[in-house]
Structure 1
Amino acid sequence: MGKNRNRVKHMLNRRVFAESLAQDAGAMARDYFVNRTALTVESKRPGDYVSEADRNVELMVRRRIEESYPGENVVGEEEGGTESGSFWCVDPIDGTSNFLAGIPIWGVSIAYCEGGVPMVGAIAIPMQDILISADMMQPGFHLNGVHHSKTADTPIDFLALGESQDWTRDAIRQVEDVFLGAGLTLVKYRCCVVGLVYAALGRTRGYFEQNTNIWDVSAGYVIAKQAGLEVSIKRNTSDHQLRISALHPAEHDAVKRQLHL
Structure 2
Amino acid sequence: MNHDLETQLDVLRDVTAKVGAFALLRFRNLAQIAIETKGEADYVSTVDREAESLARRLIHAQFPTDAIVGEEQPGDAQGDHWLIDPVDGTANFLSGIPFWAVSIAYVRDSEPVLGAIALPALDALFWASVDSRVHGTGPVSPLVGTQPIAFGIGRNRTWPVAHRLEVEAALEAQGFHIVCLGSCAAALAMVAAGRLAGYVEHGINLWDCAAGHVLCRAANAPSSILPEANGKVAVIAAPHLTETAKALSTGAGTQSFGAR
Distance 1:165 1:21 in 2: 31
Q: Residue type of the partner of 2:134? A: F
Q: 1:183 Cα deviation (Å)?
A: 1.4
Aligned partner of residue 6 in structure 2, secondary structure: helix
Distance 1:181 1:204 in 2: 17
**C-alpha contact 1:221 1:246 (8 A) present in aligned 2:** yes
Structure 2 residue 63 is matched with structure 1 residue 69: yes
**Cross-structure match for 1:111:** 105
- The list of structure 1 runs, each at least 4 consecutive aligned residues, that deviate by more than 2 angstroms after superposition, is 150-156, 250-261
**C-alpha contact 1:175 1:259 (8 A) present in aligned 2:** yes
Distance 2:32 2:88 in 1: 19
Q: Which of 218, 221, 224 pairs up with 1:229?
A: 221
**Cross-structure match for 1:3:** none
RMSD between aligned alpha carbons?
1.8
**Cross-structure match for 2:232:** 241
Q: 1:260 Cα deviation (Å)?
A: 4.0
Distance 2:246 2:162 in 1: 19
Q: Residue type of the partner of 1:198? A: M
**Cross-structure match for 2:194:** 202
Aligned partner of residue 53 in structure 1, secondary structure: helix
Q: Residue type of the partner of 1:214? A: L
Structure 2 residue 134 is matched with structure 1 residue 141: yes
User: How big is each residue's C-alpha offset from its partner over 1:75-111, in whole Å with a ceiling of 9 and x where there is no partner?
Assistant: 1000121211100000000000000000000010011
**C-alpha contact 1:159 1:206 (8 A) present in aligned 2:** yes
Calculate the TM-score normalised by the size of structure 2: 0.90
Structure 2 residue 1 is matched with structure 1 residue 11: no
Distance 1:68 1:252 in 2: 44
Aligned partner of residue 239 in structure 1, secondary structure: helix
**C-alpha contact 2:147 2:194 (8 A) present in aligned 1:** no
**Cross-structure match for 2:29:** 35
**Cross-structure match for 1:122:** 116
Aligned partner of residue 64 in structure 2, secondary structure: coil
**Cross-structure match for 1:4:** none
- Structure 1, unpaired ranges of 5+: 1-6
Aligned partner of residue 50 in structure 1, secondary structure: strand
Aligned partner of residue 8 in structure 2, secondary structure: helix
Distance 2:224 2:20 in 1: 27
**C-alpha contact 2:71 2:84 (8 A) present in aligned 1:** yes
Distance 1:252 1:48 in 2: 33
Q: 1:253 Cα deviation (Å)?
A: 4.9
Aligned partner of residue 251 in structure 1, secondary structure: coil
Gap change, CA 1:153 and 1:211, over 3 Å in 2: farther
Aligned residue pairs: how many? 248
Distance 1:255 1:171 in 2: 12
Distance 1:247 1:256 in 2: 8
**Cross-structure match for 1:20:** 14
Worse overlay, 176-185 or 127-136: 176-185
Distance 1:193 1:37 in 2: 25
**C-alpha contact 1:182 1:254 (8 A) present in aligned 2:** no
Q: 1:10 Cα deviation (Å)?
A: 1.4
Calculate the TM-score normalised by the size of structure 1: 0.90
Aligned partner of residue 75 in structure 1, secondary structure: strand
**C-alpha contact 2:159 2:203 (8 A) present in aligned 1:** yes
* % identical equivalent positions: 32
